[in-house]
Structure 1
Amino acid sequence: MTADWRAETVDRVRALIVKAEPGVAEEAKWRKASNPDGVPTFSHSGLICTVETYKDKVKITFARGASLADPGGLFNASLDAGKRRAIDIRDGDDLDEDAFLALVREAVALNES
């Protein structure tokens, strides 16, 4: 991954996920030639989300996002998907950290229910 705004965004998102759920497990999955580091995945009682880096964005996909309330209106991608929902962050975008923490906590609670 290039050390640029995307790497900084992934680091910030990772720190927020850990802040929301200190017991989260992080793994790299789906390694391939075009992405030898794999995709960071975050789990607690099941998959919470993945964080993928693209040329123009960082995509945070919540595995069960369609079941989350999202009162902060963070979801802006994969809105028509059956189960998942995603947040696309582009260079210069501001992530509402409080709303994101609440979303991660809600996802964990859903996995534990």
Structure 2
Amino acid sequence: MSTDWRSDLVERVRSLIATAEPAVVEEAKWRKASNPDGVPTFSADGLICTVETYKDKVKLTFAKGASLADPAGLFNASLDAGTRRAIDVFEGEELDGDALVALVREAVALNRS
């Protein structure tokens, strides 16, 4: 059996976030029986985003996504939410790494402003 595409994507996202902000802190939060590993959260002077794995997708939720410019149009979920915005990535889809790095850098700048 091949490696789960979701695990590979989460590792890539983790690497891109660290590229964008070397001082990022990753923590697992909200552990429960159905998700013993918890939800990876990434912070730098405040929450940047969470990365959740579902059966059919990986969801990156940016805590202050509604306040971020998204010129590459990465946000495709939670678009009606008041504060947050999310990116759903499904199997076979390509995530624009450069655009994600830019979004993380903007989120960190907002946390520090």
TM-score when normalising by structure 2:
0.97
Q: Give the root-mean-square deviation of aligned CA atoms.
A: 0.5
Structure 2 gaps of 5+ residues are: none
CA distance in 1, matches of 2:23, 2:72: 24
Structure 1 gaps of 5+ residues are: none
- Look up the match of 1:112: 112
Q: Which amino acid aligns with 1:34?
A: S
- Look up the match of 1:4: 4
Q: Does 1:36 align with 2:20?
A: no
- Look up the match of 1:88: 88
SS of the aligned residue for 1:26 comes to strand
Moved over 2 A (4+): none
Structural mapping, 1:1-113, within 5 Å: 3-113=3-113
Question: How many residue pairs end up in the alignment?
Answer: 111
SS of the aligned residue for 1:104 comes to helix
Question: Structure 1 residue 89: deviation in Å?
Answer: 0.4
CA distance in 1, matches of 2:60, 2:99: 14
CA distance in 1, matches of 2:82, 2:14: 25
Question: Structure 1 residue 85: deviation in Å?
Answer: 0.1
Q: Which amino acid aligns with 1:59?
A: K
Question: Structure 1 residue 75: deviation in Å?
Answer: 0.1
Q: Which amino acid aligns with 1:50?
A: T
